[in-house]
Amino acid sequence: MKFFIDTANLAQIKEAQELGILDGVTTNPSLMAKEGIKGKGPVLKHYVDICNIVDGDVSAEVISTDYEGMVKEGEELAALHDQIVVKIPMIKEGIKAIKYFSNKGIRTNCTLVFSAGQALLAAKAGATYVSPFIGRLDDVSTDGLALIEDIRLIFDNYGYETEILAASIRHPMHIIECAKIGADVMTGPLSAIIALAKHPLTDTGLATFLEDAKKFA
Ligand code: G3P
């Protein structure tokens, strides 16, 4: 399972990268705004800064909603760095844009996916990644993990190579359940990744080992 971090915060990206388990980064306009980045130049520079920290894929989202605009923006983003994956919303125009980029060999991440039908369309258009937002579905009393299961089944039925990127991860159990289902990638906050390492029996066991070690030091 690939681990992506879902943030535009450079300090957190560095911290995750230093753990040695980071495979990529996903961003979105809200995450970029949260870092106070304003204006086209600084935004593009920020994507390059992220690429220079991590080795893997970095999703950069278009903000146009028409086909021509998405193509223009996506080409500009893709030209920034070979690690950039163009993130495109699951709307009608977005499907056309994903197909365009797929034909050109430019990688895409289809975002804002909330149904199996949307995921199927993204795969048919040739998306590299499809991003179902499981936390936001849970927020409206709908089973986000059930969607991951449905998409896994559909993609396996037909051998689609599009990777399932479980997004809107909120806590470590989301990551574990997605791994059990067979999501290809998860993207989540650093806190959820770090939480995977925690167990009270590890802490008390280590405290005992260190105490006992003093007896023969
Ligand atoms: O990158 C998109 C997605 O992960 C959003 O997560 O927490 O805003 O629902 P969240």
> pLDDT tens digit string along 58-90?
999 999 999 999 999 999 999 999 999 999 999
The encoded tokens of residue 57 equal 């894929």
Return the ligand 1 atom nearest residue 135 CA.
9
Contact residues for 59 (Cβ-Cβ < 8 A; gap 6+)? 4, 24, 25, 26, 27, 84, 85, 86, 87, 109, 111, 129
Mean pLDDT taken over the chain:
97
Residue 138: Cβ-neighbour burial (10 angstroms; 0-12, 13-18, 19+) = middle
Q: How far is CA 202 from the centre of its chain?
A: 29
Statement: residue 21 has pLDDT above 90: yes
What is the pLDDT at residue 92?
A: 97
Statement: residue 140 has pLDDT above 90: yes
Return the ligand 1 atom nearest residue 187 CA.
4
Please report which confidence band the pLDDT of residue 144 belongs to, taking 50, 70 and 90 as the band edges. very high
Return the ligand 1 atom nearest residue 170 CA.
7
Contact residues for 107 (Cβ-Cβ < 8 A; gap 6+)? 57, 78, 85, 86, 101, 128, 129
Residue minimizing CA distance to atom 5 of ligand 1: 168
Contact 129 CB / ligand 1 (< 6 Å): no
- Tell me the best of 12, 28, 138 to mutate to test the pocket of ligand 1, counting ligand atoms within 8 Å of each CB and taking the most: 28
CA 203 to CA 215: how far, in whole Å? Answer: 19
pTM over 0.85: yes
What is the pLDDT at residue 112?
A: 98
What is the pLDDT at residue 217?
A: 81
What does the pLDDT average to over 192-209?
Answer: 98
Percentage above 90 pLDDT, the chain: 99
